[in-house]
Amino acid sequence: GTARKERAPMHGSSDERTRTGMSPESLKRAFVDSMFYVQARYWEVATPHDLYMAAAYTVRDRMLERWIRTAETYRKADARTVCYLSAEYLLGPQLGNNLINLGIVDSARQGARDLGIDLQEILDQEPEPGLGNGGLGRLAACYLDSLATLSIPAIGYGIRYEHGIFDQKIVDGWQVEDCDLWLTNGNPWEIPRPLLRYPVRFGGHTEPYTDEHGRFRVRWVPELDLYGMAYDTPVLGFGNDNTNLLRLWHATAGRSFDLQAFHKGDYYGAVNAKVGAENITKVLYPNDEPEVGKELRLKQQYFFVSCSLQDMVRVHLQHAPNLEGFHERFAAQLNDTHPSIAVAELMRLCLDEHGMDWERAWEITRRTFAYTNHTLLPEALETWPVELFGRLLPRHLEIIYEINARFLDELRMRYPFDPERVARMSLIEEGPVRRVRMAHLATVGSFAVNGVAAIHSELVKSTVLRDFHELWPEKFHNITNGVTPRRFIQLSNPDLCGIITDLAGPGWARDAENLRTLEPHADDAAFQQRWQAMKRAAKERLAARIREATGAVVDPQSLFDIQVKRIHEYKRQHLNLLHIVALYHRIKQGTDSDPTPRTFVFGGKAAPGYFMAKLIIKLIHSVAEVINRDPEVNQRLRVVFVPNFNVKNAECIYPAADLSEQISTAGKEASGTGNMKFSMNGALTIGTLDGANVEIRDAVGHENFFLFGLTVAEVERTLAEGYRPWEYYRSHDELREVIDLLRSGLFSHGDPDLFRPLTDSLLQHDPYLLLADYPAYVEAQARAGDAFRDPAGWTRMSILNAARTGFFSSDRAIREYCRNIWQVEPMPVSLAAGNGSVP
Ligand code: HBZ
């Protein structure tokens, strides 16, 4: 089984305490207690949800002592603190992770068993907080885990969306969105802080005035104000006692608002305004890449940034007379440009509310923020129409204009004969509609800018922020993304966890480089057998889940070839489909040479307004339907789509993969993080030289990775030379036959037009070069299929992948942020010090 280190009781008598003891006995007593006093239920009528809630409160009680002691420690030390500003946190279920980080999984399982309950059934009850779209939001969650684990004083600031990412249903092969209801049955992990609220203002106008020292000042006279209220969620470290804070803001119309508006007699007007205020945190925008530019989205961004900065200012002023040392107290990381309005808001706070002069305010602001870029796609770079911006945030627009005026003056001095460069670098894009360029604001207003994988950071410097890199080369960094081995190995793959712990001891979960202990065993027959059994069991679990969710039956003996991620043309799920149709076609033609039975698994959500992505989902289902029911083919090929890919499903999927599809067009995927989760769980990658694939391949060894496709330079050259996809279609027989099959109506009940938008796009423009990469992809797939028929060789490669991916732990990434960007030191919390008990 899994050898997890049981934590010693915290302090002498804690185990006798119902509310804090960690033994199975005290957990059991506390659980029964919570069922009665918190859920107000007795055994005979307790629902599975009641069991979950009682378990969650039992665990939460055990987190509080650490949490409070941590807050006390940081506060006493006046510790430099990292503030991670992110519009998204894709946390995933909390209970299992908190049991792991408290070190009480075995006690909890034992305690539950004594009561006749299966812990897994309780875990399955939890609705997940899906407060994010995909990689960016999940990265924020992994980073919170690592910050706490590394004992770094840190706060995550974000938005408490009432509805997170939509639930994906599949109806007749099409995606249908359903509202996410994660809060409806209550959220036991959050602590509401009704007294921690800040006003946030919108609209109105600004007016100049002269202050008591005769200085020129500006006053913002807003039109609307509302309040942000804090909801706090504790974030446990693993293997230490630090417990950090995730503070999410909820929008309400405040008391003063009620009094004024209601008492004016306009009751319905007041009611409407109240509803309007609360809309701000209603729902997460489900677009993962292209920016849609909705007014409410800008309101969300400003709302959470304003609350967060006010909160930071409040904390700072507990220790200091003014904002002078603000940047020494805090390092604030902007997770993409979504929170980049923070640059203007901190300036406003310094200038308008704290009477600072411009130069000093600008110095403090620039030394507070650092910015992470997550995309190079031009359509995803955030810009806001000046008109909209000025209407919602007139004072901020003024401040941005002033930042820009001063910045452009500097540029003109430096580049007197290059007005085009100056225009390119402006914070304002000129054109029929003038727009604020948020990436430029973030870059100018930060002391550091980083990309999320080596190749991506180079491309940031040579493409989207090229001029800025020429101006400030030392500002630019790379921090390759990472993922937490606690959730993505220990929690999701207990068998692998057991294997590693037996070899490396329990330390690997805090030091993922210890995974290298596996390496010398890669060829050991007995070890290989254990490894294969682990993989086999994970595949059986996924097969059961697939059967439950879709009714499809898949063979755990077949090669599990998996692509799970948001659906996007640049990620090329349809390239994967072209290969599947080619295999189908070969079997039907009797020309097949790759007899490896395969199960192709897809999963991922499409942005609700992204037609092509939704059509790709339909195509996956249509191809699946034809293949899965054709007896001539379905012994060899199966295709399934796992609906509603989310963190919970992901935990079941990554461990079961043999082959991980990371096949984006080179230069388009900033990093990828699923690629790391697969590899850590012993999947081999078939992939392009894009994002972190490049570093994964170098880490695991080129011979243990199925590489294919154009490089970034080749993609550029191909497009520059006038790419004609039609010529690939004409000259490559199998490719032509595959595309013709899609156009024949075979997969669409005879309707030749259904998939026309996809095939036309491929034949006419093919902006993501699927046809150019097709021959190389199919060839790499053949190599993978061949390799899988040698179990010992494959298992060796699988072990080496897991052994060599320690670098991709988010602990390593956070260490790099701490050292190279934030300049922040660990501050371990000790429960043993002091009396350590709750009074
Ligand atoms: O961020 C992803 C990148 O595509 C991926 O390559 C990278 O690994 C990951 C973490 O760095 N980007 C996103 O997930 N982006 C979003 O989810 C997003 C959300 C809201 C937006 C725009 C993008 O308005």
pLDDT digits (tens, 9 = 90+) for 540-574: 999 999 999 999 999 999 999 999 999 999 999 99
From the DSSP assignment, how many helices (H) and strands (E) are in the chain?
33, 24
Assess whether pLDDT exceeds 70 at residue 261: no
* Contact residues for 154 (Cβ-Cβ < 8 A; gap 6+): 81, 82, 83, 84, 144, 147, 148, 244, 245
Contact between residue 260 and residue 106 where contact means Cβ atoms under 8 Å apart? no
How distant is the alpha carbon of residue 301 from its chain centre? 17
pLDDT (tens digit, 9 = 90+) per residue, 712-771?
999 999 999 999 999 999 999 999 999 999 999 999 999 999 999 999 999 999 999 999
Buried b / exposed e over 364-403, threshold 16 CB at 10 Å, is bbbebbbbbbbbbbeebbbbbbbebbbbbbbbbbbbbebb
Q: What atom in ligand 1 is closest to the CA of residue 88?
A: 19
**pLDDT at residue 17 greater than cutoff 90:** no
Q: What's the angle, vertex CA 56, arms to CA 159 and CA 61, rounded to 5? A: 95
Does the C-beta of 287 come closer than 6 Å to ligand 1?
A: yes
Protein residue closest via CA to atom 17 of ligand 1: 288
Give dist(CA 310, CA 324) in Å, integer: 15
Cβ of 135 closer than 6 Å to ligand 1, yes or no, is yes
Q: What is the pLDDT of residue 256?
A: 56
Q: Per mean pLDDT, which range of 20-29, 160-169, 240-249 is the poorest? A: 20-29
Name beta bridge partners: 191: 232
The CB of 451 under 6 Å from ligand 1? The reply is: no
Atom of ligand 1 nearest to the CA of 672: 8
Which residue type does 766 have?
D
Share of the chain above pLDDT 90, in %: 90
CA of 134 to the centre of ligand 1 (A): 6
Please check the confidence at residue 12 and state whether its pLDDT lies above 90.
no
C-beta of 669 in contact with ligand 1 (< 6 A): yes
Nearest residue (CA) to ligand 1, atom 12: 136
Q: How many CB atoms lie within 10 A of CB 315?
A: 18
134 lines ligand 1 (CB under 6 A): yes
Give the Å distance between the CA of 289 and the centre of ligand 1. Answer: 7
Closest of 447, 312, 469 to residue 369, by C-alpha: 447
Q: How many whole angstroms from 730 Cα to the centroid of ligand 1?
A: 36
Q: From the alpha carbon of 290, which atom of ligand 1 is closest? A: 22
Q: Tell me the average pLDDT across 414-420.
A: 98
Q: How high is the pLDDT of residue 834?
A: 52
Q: Looking at this protein, which amino acid is placed at residue 204?
A: G
The residues assigned a catalytic role are: 374, 565-566, 571, 673, 677
- pLDDT by residue (tens digit) across 761-774? 999 999 999 999 99
Check pocket membership of 289 for ligand 1, CB cut-off 6 A.
Answer: yes
Is 452 a pocket residue for ligand 1 (Cβ < 6 Å)?
yes
Average pLDDT of the chain is: 94
Predicted TM-score (pTM) above 0.90: yes
Q: 166, 375, 456: which to mutate for ligand 1, most atoms within 8 A of CB?
A: 375
Instruction: Please give the DSSP secondary-structure letter assigned to residue 380.
Output: G
Answer whether 467 contacts ligand 1 (Cβ < 6 A): no
- pLDDT above 50 for 5: no
pLDDT of residue 53 exceeding 80: yes
The predicted model gives 521-537 an average pLDDT of 98
pLDDT surpasses 50 at 2: no
C-alpha torsion 290→293→294→296, nearest 10: 100
Amino acid letter, residue 695 = E
pLDDT tens for 458-493 read: 999 999 999 999 999 999 999 999 999 999 999 999
**Ligand 1 pocket, residue 664 CB under 6 Å:** no
- CA–centroid distance, residue 143 to ligand 1 (Å): 15
Cα 766 to ligand 1 centre (Å)? 23
Start-end of H helices in 590-645:
611-628
Nearest alpha carbon, ligand 1 atom 5: 672
Q: Is the pLDDT of residue 9 over 70?
A: no
**Ligand 1 pocket test, candidate residues 85, 372, 374, most atoms within 8 A of CB:** 374
- Ligand 1 neighbourhood includes 671 CB (under 6 angstroms): yes
> Measured in angstroms, how far is the CA atom of residue 220 from the centroid of ligand 1?
34
Residue 260 in this model has a pLDDT that exceeds 80: no
Q: Which atom of ligand 1 is nearest to the CA of 670?
A: 6
Domains defined for the chain, CATH in brackets: 17-77+103-127 (no CATH), 78-93+128-478 (3.40.50.2000), 554-808 (3.40.50.2000)
Residue range 823-833, pLDDT digits in tens: 999 999 998 75
Q: Is the CB of 136 under 6 A from ligand 1?
A: yes
